């Protein structure tokens, strides 16, 4: 009966969260659906179009505005907004913060229902908040890796088009049509910004800011210098392409050499958890004292902090910048 109550509480919390999300964001969801039907640009432009053309009186009544008044954390929201943009996640910082809070709260309540320990549930709540940052970082790294893999071929296509007599924007347009997302989306946004009147240097600077990648920064810097001092841009792009390919080769070798260290960090972090779960199954009374006493909870907290410290030190040791 207890597990049925817990299961019912879980589904009730999940249904309540989804209902609240649909109620609060239904207007933006309908607007996004209409934009998908009429626009010709990629999905990356939806958020910007919504923010740019949404009526100002509705914006004042939006959830974002209310959260901004309740939580005057401009620096934190600006940092979160930048991370979401770099990860190409089409959510406002306030919305992402609200979703993270609700998910973390539900996880904390579920842990409290299962364990009955308020300390563990509070710890789960804060871990849920941290996991949201890990999710953004994971999406950003995955997108950045795919972008870096596409970049040499895209620069080769631009260089060949420049040799045939086309301008840089025309060459980028050809590369955009030949490549896939995400680099095609980034090139399309640069071309669109330039077509709408934004200077090319500023559009390229926005490209570098959106991606926060060393190879993109090097490319943008080289193009800006070439536009100021002149020179053969196709040759410059060929040199950059060779540099990027060589860096990719070195990064692959570094990943191979540090694979053992990463595996050691994973084993060290997961081994105590696995042992604790095995003991709780084979001999529940043996671990009962650790979970249901104040001293046991303190020891668990100390062990978790030591595990996190050890894992952090190991990851910093094997992290090599190329």
Span 244-273, pLDDT tens digits: 888 888 888 888 877 777 787 778 778 888
Buried b (16+ CB within 10 A) or exposed e, 222-259: bbeebeeeeeebbebbbebbeebeeebeeeeeeeeeee
- pLDDT for 176-192, tens place per residue? 888 888 888 888 888 98
Place of tokens 């589904």: 11
pLDDT at position 2 over 70: no
Question: What's the token pair of residue 80?
Answer: 């979160």
**pLDDT digit string, tens, across residues 89-139:** 877 877 888 888 888 888 888 878 877 777 777 888 888 888 888 888 888
* Cβ pair 205, 134 in contact under 8 A: no
Distance (Å, whole) CA 203 – CA 192: 9
- Other Cβ atoms less than 10 A from the Cβ of 86: the count is 19
Residues 6+ apart with CB under 8 A from 285: none
CB atoms within 10 A of CB 288: 12
CB 193 within 8 A of CB 177: no
Residues belonging to the chain: 322
- 117 neighbors 129 (Cβ within 8 angstroms): no
């Amino acid at each position: 009966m207890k597990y049925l109550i817990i299961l019912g509480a879980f589904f009730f919390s999940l249904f309540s969260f989804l209902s609240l999300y649909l109620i609060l964001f239904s207007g933006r969801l309908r607007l996004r659906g209409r934009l998908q039907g009429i626009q010709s640009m990629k999905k990356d432009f939806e958020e910007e179009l919504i923010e740019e053309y949404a009526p100002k009186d509705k914006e004042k009544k939006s959830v974002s505005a209310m959260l901004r008044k309740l939580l005057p954390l401009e620096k934190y929201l600006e940092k979160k907004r930048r991370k979401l943009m770099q990860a190409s996640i089409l959510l406002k910082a306030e919305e992402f913060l609200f979703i993270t809070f609700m998910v973390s709260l539900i996880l904390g309540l579920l842990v409290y229902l299962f364990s009955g320990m308020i300390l563990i549930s509070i710890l789960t709540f804060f871990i849920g908040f941290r996991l949201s940052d890990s999710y953004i970082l994971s999406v950003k790294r995955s997108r950045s890796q795919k972008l870096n893999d596409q970049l040499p071929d895209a620069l080769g296509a631009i260089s060949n088009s420049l040799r045939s007599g086309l301008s840089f924007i025309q060459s980028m347009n050809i590369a955009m049509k030949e490549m896939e997302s995400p680099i095609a989306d980034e090139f399309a946004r640069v071309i669109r910004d330039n077509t709408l009147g934004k200077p090319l240097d500023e559009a390229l600077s926005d490209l570098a800011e959106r991606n926060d990648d060393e190879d993109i920064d090097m490319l943008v810097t080289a193009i800006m210098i070439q536009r100021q001092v002149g020179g053969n841009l196709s040759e410059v792009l060929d040199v950059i392409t060779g540099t990027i390919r060589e860096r990719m080769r070195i990064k692959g070798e570094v990943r191979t050499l540090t694979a053992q260290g990463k595996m050691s960090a994973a084993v060290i972090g997961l081994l105590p958890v696995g042992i604790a779960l095995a003991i709780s199954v084979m001999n529940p009374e043996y671990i009962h004292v650790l979970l249901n006493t104040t001293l046991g909870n303190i020891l668990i907290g100390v062990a978790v902090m030591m595990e996190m410290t050890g894992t952090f030190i190991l990851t910093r040791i094997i992290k090599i910048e190329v």
